[in-house]
Amino acid sequence: MKSKKQATLELVKLCCRALDEKKAGDLRVLDVSAQSSITDYLVIATATSEPHLRALRVELEKVIDASKTRIVGVETAQESGWTVIDLFDLMVHLFSAERRSQYGLENLWKDATVISIAKLLAVAKPKPAAKRRPAIRKKSTARK
């Protein structure tokens, strides 16, 4: 059975893959568990436009629903340039570039541990199969 921390990290990976596939910009993950009493991870991403922001939110909601994870809340104001999806142990912040630089969440959480996106998105390579020797066929001595 997975620990709570492992399960949350799997959800972080799932969200990061979905955002990466939908071309979210400047994807960052911060481990804020040592600094915050309300959440463990922040995922921060940038959208290129309001339609892109909506598309990222919709895709995340689909992926989260498929994983059977309960969404605590979604906060978005039309044309605000900022959407927050609260998953309790994980909060996803989707910004327009202008809003992201305005609010500077990375600066607010500068003591947080940055988690490598490359490591999160890396797919575990299967181990190579052991080489097997070809079967040796015995010559049949029986005549037909």
Does residue 35 sit within a domain? yes
In a domain, 141, yes or no: no
Domain span including residue 45? 4-121
Within a domain: 116: yes
pTM of the predicted protein model: 0.80
Q: Is residue 77 part of a domain?
A: yes
Question: What's the number of domains the chain is made of?
Answer: 1
Separation of alpha carbons 56 and 76, rounded Å: 12
- In degrees, rounded to 5, the angle at the alpha carbon of residue 10 between the alpha carbons of residues 4 and 16 is 135
- Using one digit for the tens of pLDDT, what is the confidence trace for 4-63? 888 888 899 999 999 999 999 999 999 999 898 889 999 999 999 999 999 999 999 999
Enumerate the β-bridge partners of residue 72.
Answer: none
Asked if the structure places residue 111 within a domain, the reply is yes
Q: Is 130 exposed, middle or buried (0-12, 13-18, 19+ CB in 10 A)?
A: exposed
**DSSP-derived pairing of the beta strands 113-115 and 73-76:** unpaired
Residue 32 is assigned to a structural domain of this protein: yes
In a domain, 40, yes or no: yes
User: What tens digit of pLDDT does each residue of 47-88 get?
Assistant: 999 999 999 999 999 999 999 988 899 888 777 889 999 999
Q: Which of 6, 17, 48, 12 is nearest to 30 (CA)?
A: 12
Does 139 map to a domain?
A: no
Comparing C-alpha atoms, which of 45, 17, 43 is closest to residue 114?
Answer: 43
| CATH code, domain carrying 53 | 3.30.460.10
